[in-house]
Structure 1
Amino acid sequence: MNMVEEYVNASTMQHRDAFDFVEEFAKEMSEMKGKCIDIGCGPGDVTKELILPKLSPNAELVGADISQAMIDHAKQKYQSEKRLSFILLDIETLALPNEELEHYSNVLSSYCLHWCQDPRRAFDNIYKLLEPEGKALVMFLAWNNGFDAYMRIYENPQYKPYMQDVNRFVPFFHRCNDSQATLRTMLEDIGFEILNCSRREKSFVYQNMEIFKRHVIAVNPFISRIPDHLKKEFEDVLLREITSGKTLIASKKDDGQEEHSILDKYHILVAYVKKPSGTR
């Protein structure tokens, strides 16, 4: 996800959910000391504005992301923040850098891990990043019917050539019958002690179709591949297919014209886990 400005301008829902997340776990975060890492920090706004203020005053926070564009943006914007730094890191890598192993007292992540093709490897790497007795607090998307729209659009021969890896962008947990149980089993198999593992139903209202469209385009992985002569048509099809699974709420604008707000319902997964002492 490299469209930095588009994402920043269209991530109100993610920011709202991240705010709820850190408020719920404010006490736990206030006890996080030492070196901490935020996996999937994106442009760094949530890292700086929501996570850092909740940590112990003597904690240092490292924002990590797979996108060089996001990291460059965050480094430039927050270069004067002494307790905050940013690194390029793929949480699904087959081999973490040696200097990162058991380097962190706490791992945090918000709205990132659902993009991982191999979430088990991602959580295994989180385990490796942590010191013994270190803790990880993560929140990510479990289910949203917008992903089903990707599969329907893929069947269109006009767009199929540009969506050959569509399964890569339909999250693993979206396809699970019981995402909470699957996550719990995965974490236990890796070796984590589970302090909290839950699935929550959430909803968000986009005030009009234009706002919703900005969000849909900002997080869509295929638009950058679509040729210019098909791009406008693809955006229209994308919006129509995703909207078909949402609830539209009609209202009147000041000029009397009808507009619609969009109710989006989805599920998130939350996990708070600990790496036992004496393990590696």
Structure 2
Amino acid sequence: MDFVEDYVEASDLQRRDAKDVIDEFCYEIKKMQGNCLDIGCGPGFVTKKLLLPILEHDVQLVANTTGADISETMVSYAQKHNADEKLSYIVLDIEAPELPSDQIERYKNILSFYCLHWCNDLRFALQNVYKLLQSDGKALIAFLGHHGGFDEYVRCKQNPRYQQYLQDAHRYVPYFQRMKISTNYKTSIEISLRKMLQDIGFKILHCSKREKSYRYSKQSLKDHAYAVNPFIHRLPDDIREEFIDHLVNEIISHNGLVPFESTKNEQDMYKNIVLRYYLMIAYVQKLPAAA
């Protein structure tokens, strides 16, 4: 996601859901003391506008763009537009085989919104979250468990016109959604997430799966699909628009998107489209090492 301006204009969904989670856990966030890390900060708006005002004045907040598709461009934008004396930005890959030594056990609190579903190996990413936390440190994370739009990446891969650019399409399907596709995964993803967190060593303070929805117009869906698309930079300029149109039409046709208003006018039909998805939320603590 290196098209920062496009993401800034088309990320209302991410900001809305992040605000909902922050509002719900506002009491816990207000009590946070010590270093904080916001994993997957993107352009920095959620970090600066939603998180920073809630945190205590003595909290040092360090925001990071992280995940499967790390964007130095995002970090540069955040540093330019959303940094101040309390807030700075670094590049950090939460799936890195070896984390920077100066980051290990540096943070008392970790927050992450709309990032970890981009990770190819969610368990490994969460293990790295564990390593970044200090003893007794806490992490509040929210990420997509299932979103029908990602299935369309795999379908688009079958189209000969786009196939060469989408060879790793499965890689960008959220972890639990991908497991369901590849292994007929039937266990509740909430139960699976709980087990994963416990196996890593976290104490679970909260874990839930939320069914959410978002209302789009066809144009806003197209803008969103472009802004978060991991393949768009690979495509030749002359087929990017065509690909996004194809992707959006696939999303509409396979996800049961129904307009709010019945109308015979096809142009008006897609002014209001609802897309449903699951958001995973976990609030966990790293327990002290046994004596």
Q: TM bucket by the smaller chain?
A: over 0.9
Residues 159 and 133 of structure 1: is their aligned pair in 2 closer, same or farther, counting only changes over 3 Å? same
* Contact 2:138-2:285 at 8 Å conserved across structures: yes
CA contact (8 A) 2:2 2:74 kept: yes
Query: Does 2:224 match 1:215?
Result: yes
Query: Which runs of 4 or more aligned residues in structure 1 lie more than 4 Å from their structure 2 counterparts after TM superposition?
Result: 250-253
1:23 matched to 2:23? The reply is: yes
User: 1:229-258, CA deviations, whole angstroms, 9 ceiling, x for partnerless residues?
Assistant: 3223212211100111142315599xx963
* SS of aligned partner of 1:64: strand
User: How far is 1:228 from its partner?
Assistant: 2.5
Query: Shift of the alpha carbon at 1:173?
Result: 1.5
Q: 2:78: which partner in 1?
A: 74
Structural RMSD (CA) = 1.9
Kept in 2: contact 1:22–1:54 (CA 8 A) = no
1:37 aligns with 37
Q: What pairs with 1:1-280 in structure 2 (closer than 5 Å)? A: 1-65=1-65, 66-79=70-83, 81-175=84-178, 176=180, 177=186, 178-206=188-216, 208-244=217-253, 245-249=255-259, 251=261, 258-260=268-270, 261-278=272-289
Q: Residues 246 and 265 of structure 1 are in contact (CA less than 8 Å); yes or no, is this contact kept in structure 2?
A: no
Q: Distance in 2 between matches of 1:97 and 1:247?
A: 44
Note the alpha carbon deviations across 1:34-90, whole angstroms, 9 max, x for none. 1100000000000101111121221111111131000000001123x2111111000
Distance 1:184 1:17 in 2: 21
Secondary structure in 2 matching 1:58: coil
Task: Specify every segment of 5 or more residues in structure 2 that has no aligned partner in the other structure, as ranges.
Answer: 181-185
How far apart in 1 are the matches of 2:80 and 2:157?
A: 38
Q: Which has the higher strand share?
A: 1
**3-state SS of paired residue (2:151):** helix
Is contact 1:132-1:279 (8 Å) kept? Answer: no
Secondary structure at 1:241 match in 2: helix
Distance in 1, Cα, partners of 2:290 & 2:230: 38
SS in 1 for 2:15: helix
Equivalent residues of 1:246, 1:262 under 8 A apart: no
Instruction: State the TM-score, normalizing by the size of structure 1.
Output: 0.94
Q: Which residue number corresponds to residue 183 of structure 2?
A: none
Separation (CA, whole Å) in 1 of partners of 2:97 and 2:196 = 18
How many residues align structurally?
277
Would the aligned equivalents of 1:60 and 1:84 in 2 still touch at CA under 8 Å?
A: yes
